[in-house]
Amino acid sequence: MAHNLLPVAVVLAVALLMAPAAGYPWLSCGTSSSFAANGTYQDHFNFAAATLPKNASTSPDLFASIVVGTVPEQLSAMALCRGDVNSTTCFSCLTEAFGDLPSACSDDKAATIYYDPCMVHYSDVHTLPGDDDTGPSIDTYPIGDNQYVTADPGQFIRLLAALVNATADYAAYNSTRRFATGQADTGFDPEFPELYALAQCTPDQTPAQCHKCLAGLISQSLGGFQNRDGARMLAVSCTYRYETKPFYNGPAMVRLASPSSGAPAPAPAVNSRVRAADGGRRKYHVPWVAIAVVLPALAAMNLVACLCFRRRRRRLLIAQAKHQNPMYSTEAEDTEMVDSMMMDVSALRAATGDFDESNKLGEGGFGAVYKVGVLPDGEEIAVKRLSSSSSQGVQELKNELALVAKLKHRNLVRLIGVCLGQQERLLVYEFLPNRSLDLILFDTENEERGRRRLDWAQRYKIINGVARGLQYLHEDSQLKVVHRDLKASNVLLDENMNPKISDFGLARIFGRGQTQAVTRRVVGTYGYMAPEYMMRGNYSVRSDAFSFGVMVLEVVTGRKNSDDGCNLLATVWTHWEAGTVAQLVEPSTMGGSFPEGDVLRCVHIGLLCVQADPAARPVMSSVVMMLGSDTVTLQAPSKPGFFVRNNSANAAASTVSLDG
């Protein structure tokens, strides 16, 4: 089967200018040699024919392969069904295919036969999936109604390129079955209002191998289709197809909007990687969210009403705080915010048993957190108590106070009050009974118990909730806030496992139009800090995205990035390149079964967020969209920014000085 082993770049059997191909089956026969009837090779073929239809149709991937015998009578065979058919259809199609072979190719020792829902390939030469030197043969078949799109051929070709590129990339990187379907609205031809596509590789290929195979088909063939209404490219390792009428089962996995007249869809990439997002950006472009402006008159009315009600008490408490804490700020903006939240320290002391150790929930970077108990109105609260020996922490506390009081979102911890009197510096928060995410994910007392406490639905809810909280901080609030210390221990969980981002002591506000900042004092947690922040002090919403990506990978795998001897990013990347990401997840830790496609998609998103290049990381609004819809296509991630963790025991707030 000499032509079956020629590189993709060499052989292209073009049938575009001919009449439509006859109906199925479509054949690709070898030319090397034939085998004798009732001989050893025939016995090997019969064994494959009796085995593969059942094995493939009962496989989750609808795929099976086998190697029988030894050279020179060795037979290598594989059977693959289209990813959208059921097992019954798959079995029937493969049985028919093996029945038609090998007589359809005159007993050649190599042949490939294609039906609409399945294909079978066998050969006397065994090759590895994705072998660069032995690419498959390519056969091109025009299908559809043998019509041409004439309304706007150029626009049609550009949209077709965008759709098949996006569908191919989804098949390679978003599906363990290496299968995807796509749909696009043309928007310019009422006769052909929709465009449909399908891409598939054999599931034994890695994502990179599948992508390379499909990219080769697309780059060599797509331009030759001109504006034909349908065509199918067939190869042993991969295939793609498009039509202007629906031809696959189920909803499209990739959906593109009609291209605007002023912004054509991208042309197909030639001899380069095809990025799914290139075809998807048109629909999923995220506009800037307008910032709401509070009317000065309304603010003034609220302020006057508030002052009339509690003016004398506020003045007393502020004066007391200034006297006992010289570092307390009385700037106008902070004063207004603090006034409405001032609490009596004596009440907090009484509620905590004077901060008894039995009420301590945990220890943060700048102090302890206590469960205070129940206020007179019945609300359970927790208190963050700044350590009296931490001179550094005073500024962080004031910063956290100024920020959190102005931020209101369901996925941010809610600040209830503040106390800066009697030598105490306290922040009072809502109490979250399930405490922090790290205590569940990484239960040091019982690691197995900790991992089992979160099923996949809960893990996904946590990932999505944290993403929405960050989107609010970065894009949707009146302030543009960079957290700088996002990690599992700073994600708190309520009674329903809803996540809330906490600990804003290191957060910074960005001005209008500001995209990044530089600090000479890098403070954060090793394993979560982005490369550009850790090494150069540059921080932005993209550095928060890096921290989020690390947390996502921790939530999915149940493994801690900062564990001794474990670089989680390197481990996940190695499995990603090998196509074995599913091995990182133990079903027992997910409460049994879990949707593998969703898990792989979250890993994909996590890897996009931890890419070494900050500009390549997605903004959080894009992440939220990726998490919320399977039809949003994802780019192929590049290598993460790796870190070797600092072995210091105090990893909660490790500081790197960049002075000098």
Catalytic positions: 485
CA distance 120 to 224: 26
Question: 3-class DSSP state for residue 574?
Answer: helix
Q: Does 560 appear as a known binding residue?
A: no
Q: Where do the DSSP E strands lie in 528-653?
A: 538-540
Instruction: Return the exposure string of 169-183: e unless at least 16 CB atoms fall within 10 Å of the residue's CB, then b.
Output: bbbbbbbbbbbbbbb
Give yes or no for a contact between 321 and 421, defined as CB atoms under 8 angstroms apart. Answer: yes
Q: How many CA atoms lie within 13 A of 246 on its CB side?
A: 6
CA distance 104 to 101: 5
CA distance 135 to 279: 26
Residue 241, φ and ψ in degrees, nearest 5: -155, 150
According to the 3-state scheme, what is the secondary structure of 211-238?
HHHHHHHHHHHHHHHCCECEEEEECCCE
Cα separation values, 289 from 215, 286, 475, 616, 649, Å: 36, 9, 7, 21, 41
Give yes or no for a contact between 473 and 448, defined as CB atoms under 8 angstroms apart. Answer: no
Q: Which amino acid is present at 417?
A: G
Cα separation values, 555 from 589, 590, 638, Å: 11, 11, 21
Among residues 270, 269, 131, the alpha carbon closest in space to that of 205 is found at: 131
Q: Where do the DSSP E strands lie in 176-335?
A: 179-185, 194-201, 230-234, 238-243, 254-256
H helix or E strand, kind and range, residue 599: helix 596-609
Question: 3-class DSSP state for residue 627?
Answer: helix
CA distance 217 to 226: 15
Non-local CB neighbours of 121 within 8 Å, separated by 6+ positions: 77, 78, 111, 112, 113, 236
- 311: which 2 tokens? 């003016």
Give yes or no for a contact between 461 and 453, defined as CB atoms under 8 angstroms apart. Answer: no
Residue 5, φ and ψ in degrees, nearest 5: -105, 5
CA distance 207 to 603: 13
Provide the terminal-to-terminal Cα distance of the chain, rounded to the nearest Å.
67
Cα separation values, 388 from 295, 425, 650, Å: 40, 8, 18
H helix or E strand, kind and range, residue 346: helix 345-352
Give yes or no for a contact between 35 and 114, defined as CB atoms under 8 angstroms apart. Answer: no
Binding-site annotation, residues: 384
Binding-site annotation, residues for ATP: 384
